[in-house]
Amino acid sequence: MKLLRVDMNSRQVRWEDVPEIYQHLGGRALIARLLLEEIPPTCDALGPHNKLIFTPGLLGGAGVTTAGRLSVGGKSPLTRGVKEANAGGTGGDILGKLGIKAIVIEGQADSGELYLLHVGIDTAELLEANDLKGLGTYATADRLQSKYGADCTVFSIGQAGESLMTGAGIASTGEHEQRSNHAARGGLGAVMGSKNLKAIVIDKPTGKSVQFANAELFLQAMRTYAGKLVNDPKLGKQGTQHLYGTASIVAAVNEMGSMPTRNFSNGNFESSADLRGEHLRELILAREGKVGTRCMPGCVIACRNQLVDEKGMPIVGTLQYETIALIGSNLGIGNLDDVARLNFMCNDFGLDTIETGAALGVALEAGLVQFGDVEGIIALLNQVGEGTPLGRVIGCGAVTTGQVLGIRRVPATLGQAMPGYDPRSLKGNGVTYATSPQGADHTAGNAFGARNQVNPLGIQGQKELSLKLQIIAAMLDSTGLCLFSRPPIIADPQLMVDMLNGIYGWNWTKDDLDHFNRDVLRTELEFNRRAGITVADYRIPEYMCEEPLAPHNVVFDVPESDLDSVFETL
Amino acid sequence: MKLLRVDMNSRQVRWEDVPEIYQHLGGRALIARLLLEEIPPTCDALGPHNKLIFTPGLLGGAGVTTAGRLSVGGKSPLTRGVKEANAGGTGGDILGKLGIKAIVIEGQADSGELYLLHVGIDTAELLEANDLKGLGTYATADRLQSKYGADCTVFSIGQAGESLMTGAGIASTGEHEQRSNHAARGGLGAVMGSKNLKAIVIDKPTGKSVQFANAELFLQAMRTYAGKLVNDPKLGKQGTQHLYGTASIVAAVNEMGSMPTRNFSNGNFESSADLRGEHLRELILAREGKVGTRCMPGCVIACRNQLVDEKGMPIVGTLQYETIALIGSNLGIGNLDDVARLNFMCNDFGLDTIETGAALGVALEAGLVQFGDVEGIIALLNQVGEGTPLGRVIGCGAVTTGQVLGIRRVPATLGQAMPGYDPRSLKGNGVTYATSPQGADHTAGNAFGARNQVNPLGIQGQKELSLKLQIIAAMLDSTGLCLFSRPPIIADPQLMVDMLNGIYGWNWTKDDLDHFNRDVLRTELEFNRRAGITVADYRIPEYMCEEPLAPHNVVFDVPESDLDSVFETL
């Protein structure tokens, strides 16, 4: 495999053998190590010393089902620490097939100029792309696919990333005209914008495939793994996750009193029934939209949906739980069509729906628009695309919005907005938000799935649960696995070990895998420490520790001593 | 002496004997200790756990010339660390005479309500003050003095503080209708706003005076000190500091290439001659305005000025160097009348001219208005008073403005804007900006005065110089002395020791004074450490370490190892 280095200062590209220290790494693990090795930890995240990394997980390209996620990483302008955000689509698969361990964007082109990186089989060139200036991510993908072929993969930023808004993410295309996969979190779209790189186009790697060191070992483990997914009651053809996607959890999160409602001021949303995954599926089927499709090639879970309007015209796909929570209940919106319209706008501007939903929630608390006033909210969000001062504020995320508008109830840790689970009533997630080197990510260690094992309202067992989940998350994000596909690997980690050994010819044991997973967290924590981040930055906001959340009237009360000792056994 | 505690939660006031640990403290020293003892260091600076402290220096009220400054302190919403900002006017003197060691504002009133604290001789009451909502600091002082007497002292916030803008300061009145003394830095006006306290009115303490433990000792030292000030060639009647005030340094700072010009992109301003103190004096005299008046009762330096327009109507007073640099050359403005108009607006809205000038510089670099376009800049600044989204951004200071507008050349350390000396060509100030627990304050350790002893362009000797100056600054800010009045004390610290022993009956030696001064810094550094602030937060911005500054084409290159070891010998 090789690294593709792109120097934006000189506009030169360079292929490089993968250095020894990166050879056993991929995805999130590679990002963490590369940041620690190559980036001054205190550098300006939007300056020339930050690097933006696109890397498949270790399974990328090998044809493992549900394992083709693309990791994007760099120093986050929101958290000031390490950031890995991943997305579905075809990116992880094709980079793996092309034998590209990572594309590393370095330096900064002169401001005012915009570039495009075109990657083919063993080729890469940086091209002037000023004609794409100001385009949304949908139009960017359309224009580039009409030029480079409908089957190429496009990573791009929208207006938000171009304008260095720190709520900006990076969009990736997928099969069948998908344009709405996003490596959304942590402001990596602004990092891409700061490098003056509008898009990356990667040709379909026809005829290229991963070389297996031990194909038999790999295939056996891979087939066993796929079989277990297919037969899993939640993931298989009759499973809630296949049928309703991430939106399947709306009812349960609302019932546990964790559904962000009106800027995290309540854990119950009175119209949550209208936001449920079951209702979403009914709506789509009634209008002849799509359900049960895939965001990644070959996925056997197939939880993707595409909501269409009453005339059958696509609104957005895939509508997911986090968006429903942050753009829906958090803004007092109880209508999926409205959520979908706002979701499309975020996608097009290239905005993280979680960060932007939280920022809008703060803006609504400030009284700019009433909660639930969809047209008012659309007008606010439109300002982000237009780049008005208020739009820029909101585009910079929840913390900036709170500061500018004088609102202290900002649901964020480490500078980044919380996803769709109030930490007061799902305290395991609170521990993750307050300790993960990634900040408040729902994928960094989500305790929702363990709600029947550890009482979400209690403080007992939360720190142990969070650590366990964070270690698993590090593995998922480093191998390219979707969060949904973790049960068979958790039940039998040897499956993962055999797949990796089969591809790479390693002799890993389960202990080696565990060590690898933990090392991701250790590396990230060390980068953050060197970046000057302290426990004060990680803490759950003061108001959440003091203002009880309905309906359970609970505060976040996991002791700081528990938070500070989460990684003692790492 | 006593403490006056004001609990905004219950709207109760309480007189308290001064606790033992605070008895030897005043001004900045008291603020540092009180924060460390009483405030959770990681608390939300705009939340209920922060406290806002008004305290005279240790000499306050004793009639020492040039020693009546009022210190205001709390946790800064800009730096997240300790903040002491001080102002002239009558505040320090009357609090000392009233025997009030400090007024401590605690808790937070319900939002939407505004209050006024009225302090008399041994009385204090908290009154509803919603009629003052939205008033500027001039109108607030006018209204309160017409009600409580022209000789009362008023501390107040303007629209900026009420709106929780983190660039807001606190205004204080002085003798002879002065309304323009400001404890400007660090966003303490927003802290006052967060407590819903619009103003403090303090009756003139007629008949009250400081009780001296040893009046003779005190008087002898005090007279010697005053005599030395009067006879100092720079401070006396023919001295540049009396004649031209702080504006006397314009030519020298420009000549050394340190004058912030167009958002710190140059150290020379082509129109600096028009901004010189000499020119200011000529202008005022020609128009029959005032020069050589006092900001504090009994000051023998008397450097205050009041600029009037061509019809003799007051524009603003006193026009000072930092404002001339940040609102003048930094915005490309080379006309003192224009600077004065903008200064008046900042004062009235209750904004720090340093923070706001830096924020406007960043906004101009973003292209919102051309540098030097005075009417455009006035319109921008007006938006701050109006509270438009863009106005709020600018009102929140330089760092927020840079983030929202996507500008990375932000002249700030520890979240707070730099004063009027570019650290690249006055490297001693760079060391202070990058190490002082107060952040980039010109009063925290200003190397300008030592430019003939330590080469401002070199790196040798800077860390030792900065430490020495920071220790002296801690003494000045804790005793209530003006920065201008330090030479006699530096030459003979026994004068200060004798004055303090004479007032309080202590048996301090010069070593005790030195220990006291150093302990202020130690206490502040400890608070900041507990607040989670690390060296990464203190650093000079990356671009200043890489982009050479004209005319000397120098970067800030004092090694980080020097910065990290400044306090080794504290």
Greater pLDDT, A224 or B231: A224
The per-residue pLDDT for range B38-74, each reduced to its tens digit, is 999 999 999 999 999 999 999 999 999 999 999 999 9
Inter-chain touch A392–B404, beta carbons under 8 Å: yes
Q: Which of B41, B404, B532 sits opposite A393 (nearest CB)?
A: B404
Cα of B210 to nearest chain A Cα, Å: 41
> What amino acid is encoded at A465 in this protein?
L
Summary mean pLDDT of chain B: 96
pLDDT reported for residue A569: 93
B300 confidence band (pLDDT: 50, 70, 90): confident
How many CB atoms are closer than 10 A to CB A311?
6
Question: Contact B69/B88 with Cβ under 8 angstroms?
Answer: yes
Compute how many other C-beta atoms are within 10 angstroms of the C-beta atom of residue B453: 10
CA end-to-end span of chain B, whole Å?
31
Please report which confidence band the pLDDT of residue B109 belongs to, taking 50, 70 and 90 as the band edges: confident
- pLDDT score, position B234: 82
d(CA B382, CA B384): 5
The stretch B517-526 carries a mean pLDDT of 98
Other CB atoms within a 10 A radius of the CB of residue A176 amount to 11
Residue ranges in chain A whose pLDDT is less than 70: none
Instruction: Collect all residues of chain A within an 8 Å Cβ-Cβ radius of residue B400.
Output: 400, 403-404
Q: Tens digits of per-residue pLDDT, B131-173?
A: 999 999 999 999 999 999 999 999 999 999 999 999 999 999 9
Of A47, A400, A533, the CB nearest to B404: A400
Q: What is the pLDDT of residue A176?
A: 82
Q: How far is A373 from B134, CA to CA, in rounded Å?
A: 28
Q: Which residues of A touch B (CB under 8 A)?
A: 41-44, 46-47, 49, 80, 163-166, 190, 194, 388-390, 392-393, 396, 400, 403-406, 408, 531-537, 539, 541-543
Give the residue, B231 or A144, on which the prediction is more confident. A144
Q: What share of chain B is helix, strand, coil (3-state, %, to 5)?
A: 45, 15, 40
Query: For residue B83, is pLDDT > 90?
Result: yes
What are the tens digits of pLDDT across the range A474-524? 999 999 999 988 999 999 999 999 999 999 999 999 999 999 999 999 999
Q: CB A392 to CB B408 under 8 A?
A: no
- Which pLDDT tens digit goes with each residue over A441-484? 999 999 999 999 999 999 999 999 999 999 999 999 999 999 98
* CB A324 within 8 Å of CB A253: no
User: What is the C-alpha separation between B90 and B153, in angstroms, rounded?
Assistant: 6
Tell me which residue of B475, B463, B455, B457 sits closest to B433, measured CA to CA: B463
Mutation target to probe the B interface, by most B beta carbons within 10 A, among A534, A538, A543, A564 is A534
Q: How far apart are CA A555 and CA A177, in angstroms?
A: 44
Which residues of chain B make contact with A406, given a CB cutoff of 8 A? Answer: 46, 163-165, 392
pLDDT surpasses 80 at B111: no
The C-alpha atoms of residue A209 and residue A199 are separated, in whole angstroms, by 24
Report how far apart, in Å, the C-alpha atoms of B164 and of each of B160, B198, B384, B386 are.
Answer: 6, 12, 12, 13
Report the residue from B44, B163, B389 with minimal CB separation from A542: B44
CB pairs < 8 Å spanning A and B: 85
List CB contacts of A297: < 8 A, sequence separation 6 or more. Answer: A68, A90, A93, A174, A175
In three-state secondary structure terms, A501 is: helix
Q: How deeply is A193 buried, as exposed, middle or buried, from its count of CB atoms within 10 A (0-12, 13-18, 19+)? A: buried
Note the pLDDT of residue B350: 98
The predicted pLDDT at position A234 comes to 82
Closest residue in A to B396 (Cα–Cα): A404
Taking the CA of residue B529 and the nearest CA in chain A, the distance in Å comes to 10
| pLDDT score recorded for residue B238 | 84
pLDDT at A317: 84
The secondary element (H helix, E strand) that includes residue B462 is helix B462-479
According to the model, what pLDDT value does residue B287 have?
93
Burial status of residue A453 (CB atoms within 10 A of its CB: 0-12, 13-18, 19 or more):
exposed
Which residues on B lie below 8 Å from A402 (Cβ)?
none
**Record: contact B44-A408, CB cut-off 8 A:** yes
Which amino acid belongs to residue A424?
A: R
At A129, phi and psi to the nearest 5?
Answer: -140, 40
Give the gap in angstroms from C-alpha B396 to the nearest C-alpha of chain A. Answer: 6
Question: What is the C-alpha to C-alpha distance for residues A438 and A432, in angstroms, rounded to an integer?
Answer: 9
Angle at A508 between CA A36 and CA A67, to 5 degrees: 70
A532: nearest CB among B41, B43, B536: B536
ipTM of the complex model:
0.95
The answer to whether B218 touches B499, Cβ cutoff 8 Å, is yes
